[in-house]
A and B are shown apart, each in its own frame.
Chain A
Amino acid sequence: MTIAIDDIDAMRATYRRASARRSVCLLVAMVCLCAFMVLDLTTGPSGLPLSEVWQGLQAGPNGADRTIATILWHLRMPQTLMGVLVGACLGLAGLQMQTILSNPLASPFTLGFSAAAGFGAALAIMFAQLIPVPPYLVVPAAAFAMTLIACGLVYLIARLSGATPEILVLGGIAVLFFFQSLQSLLQFLASPEVLQQIVFWLFGSLLKATWTSVTVCGLILLACVPFVIRTSWALTTLRLGDANARSLGLSVEAVRRQTFLIVALLTAAAVSFVGTIGFVGLIAPHVARTLVGEDHRFSLPLAAIIGAIILVGASVFGKIISPAAVIPVGIITAVAGVPMLFAVIASRGRGGVA
């Protein structure tokens, strides 16, 4: 019997070691994110060395040096924080999406949420003059509302024949094409000036960030966190497949529907203010899973942090290669995403994992 107890102790110790390693992974990722945030604050058209940034941060938004305070607290800080929040929302939404659809190619784009946001924004830009509300409020609000409408449409389709992953993906593709066509129609009808505004919105860019957008996006993310924490074991159980999860007493359809709503909220929060940003929601979950496995207690927070790192990193890169006219992060993540995706596929292929 001593051998048996040794075995049990060994298994427990191995498990604890793996958990500790995953926690360290989270910690390292957090430190990386902080480093990138500082880097993002120090780069920009007017340049600010680290020492000045540090002084500016200590002095606060009402510091004596007005130039530094303005650059740091009113221009760069909202952009950096927005990068973190949007990246975290997309990373979280992406992982949840891939889990509930049991499809590694799923991302917030798969179900047409981003296309819907784009259409909502385009619609608001086009008819901005008719609405007695300033455009900086009405555009994100329209994008947000349209994302929730898209969510409702996919949900309705799923209601008709059960919320299976296949039905959700098919419904999502239908909704995606629907909103993309409507978006094209608006672009076709728009005057050249309005068209330019629409196209600029569609490039995801952190330049649109303000303290208002940071607050709203932050509040939505914060509101979703308790739900994400509560469903993390259910999502891990869902990875055993529907038949297993159901026989373990998990109400699979309910988890899928609730998570689906949270994904819509997170995606809406992310894209309504900064426009469409591709690939983050696809890559961040893959990187997170490769690093810490599929226990969602670890992979969900890590996907959020990795998403934030990718977006803030893209922002730094965009400012460095073209200081005069900052390249929108949406374009950088899309271009940089391709080799990253290849790297992930290659590393998973070597590990014998499809």
Chain B
Amino acid sequence: MRKHLLLENVGVQRGRATILSGFTASVAAGQIVGLVGPNGTGKSTLLNAIAGLVPHSGTITWGGDRLDIREVGFMPQQCAVRAELTALEVVLLGRHERLGWQIDDDTLNSAAAILQSFGIADLAGRRMLTLSGGQQQLVLLAQRLLREPKLLLLDEATSALDIRHQMHVLRLLRDYVARTGALVLIAIHDLNLAARYSDTVLLLHSGRVAGSGAFDAAVTPQTLRSVYGIEAEFLVSRSGTRLIVPLSSCALASD
């Protein structure tokens, strides 16, 4: 049986503000789950809580047990690196707990192979300071994959990437899930990418689940209106890809 990530009554307070309250969801391993929702609905906070980086109430279990942080690969939203380490050195640090004084060939090969699969072998010897935001994001994603996490948490991990790299990375994540049976939770703003690459979505609104399940079931014209405050048209392209075209945005109560 596949493992489940079970979130029961999860709540997070930041100062006096309640970011998440009574958040309950269950997601099975072996898939990509898109976390979608407007800004400030608690997507990042939820990922931070699962990664054990912010205190929370309620319980979070993985396969019935408490989540072992070593099984988690988390990539936070703001993680630009200002160091003179090379890209390959940074990827190697994905295994910093297990590195000895000498780095063996196997570890070096795995790190190099991941850079290769991301299509950035040419950056291996470049220092992080000289890389663009998008290139850094690719290197840091590669670093998280070297950890071979059972649970990969990505917060806007494709936000700085061009469209080709976004698709490439999401395809790599699909391969990774297929190969290892891991669970990938990815907070993502681009609904079209979420529709195309996630197996299920969790739609968040004001710190609660406003919709979950297959993309079509969770994201509908009605939920887009109530959650995002937009009118949108749902199209299917000739190649069969689903497209959401936003039409107007004036229905939010605060506007």
Q: State the A residues within 8 Å of B (CB).
A: 4, 7-8, 10-12, 14-16, 18, 229, 233-234, 236-237, 239-241, 243-244, 246-250, 289, 293-295, 297, 352-353
Contact = CB atoms under 8 A, between A and B. Distances in A.
B81 interface: yes
A4 B53 contact: no
B81 A233 contact: no
A236 B93 contact: yes
Contact of B97 (A12, A246, A249, A297): A249
Interface string B46-67: 0000010100000000000000
Nearest to B113: A8
B185 interface: no
Interface string B79-99: 111111110111001101101
A75 to B, nearest CB: 39
Contacts of A244: 76, 79, 81, 140
A240 B70 contact: no
Q: Is the interface of B mostly helix, strand, loop or mixed?
A: mixed
B74 interface: yes
B125 A14 contact: yes
Contact of B84 (A8, A18, A246, A294): A294
Contacts of A246: 53
Nearest to B110: A8
Given A7-B116, A11-B88, A240 B93 contact: yes
A99 to B, nearest CB: 10
Interface in B144-193: 147
A239 B90 CA distance: 10
B201 interface: no
Interface string B87-127: 01110011011010101010011001101100001001101
A233 B96 contact: yes
B222 interface: no
B241 interface: no
Contacts, number: 98
A232 to B, nearest CB: 8
A239 B53 CA distance: 19
Contact of B85 (A248, A294, A353): A294
Given A236-B93, A237-B93, A294-B84, A8 B53 contact: no
A353 B69 contact: no
Interface of B: 51, 53, 69-70, 72, 74-76, 78-86, 88-90, 93-94, 96-97, 99, 101, 103, 105, 108-109, 112-113, 115-116, 121, 124-125, 127, 129-130, 140, 143, 147
9 contacts: A8-B113, A10-B121, A14-B88, A14-B125, A236-B89, A243-B79, A248-B94, A294-B83, A295-B85
B148 to A, nearest CB: 13
Contacts of B127: 293
Contact of B79 (A4, A8, A241, A293): A241
B109 A243 contact: no
A237 B85 CA distance: 10
Contacts of A16: 108
A232 B35 CA distance: 36
Contacts of B85: 236, 239-240, 293-295
Contacts of B76: 243-244, 247
Given A233-B99, A247-B51, A8 B82 contact: no
A243 B96 CA distance: 15
B129 A247 contact: no
A294 B108 CA distance: 18
A241 B53 contact: no
A246 B97 CA distance: 12
Contact of A241 (B75, B80, B108, B129): B80
A237 B112 CA distance: 18
Nearest to A237: B96
Nearest to B101: A297
A244 B81 CA distance: 8
Nearest to B71: A249
Contacts of B140: 244
A283 B169 CA distance: 42
A11 B72 CA distance: 27
A352 B126 CA distance: 13
A247 B86 contact: no
A295 B75 CA distance: 22
- Most-contacted residue by chain B among A8, A11, A16, A243 (CB, 10 A): A11
Given A12-B109, A240-B79, 15 more contacts: A8-B109, A8-B116, A10-B121, A14-B88, A15-B108, A240-B81, A240-B93, A244-B76, A247-B74, A248-B94, A248-B143, A249-B97, A250-B96, A294-B83, A294-B84
Contacts of B97: 233, 249
B53 A247 contact: yes
Contact of A247 (B75, B105, B124): B75
B124 A11 contact: yes
Contacts of B147: 248
Nearest to B84: A294
A352 B128 CA distance: 12
A294 B92 CA distance: 13
- Most-contacted residue by chain A among B79, B83, B90, B113 (CB, 10 A): B83
Nearest to A234: B96
A247 B109 CA distance: 23
Nearest first, the 8 A-B pairs at minimum CB distance are A11-B112, A247-B74, A239-B83, A8-B112, A11-B124, A7-B121, A237-B96, A243-B76
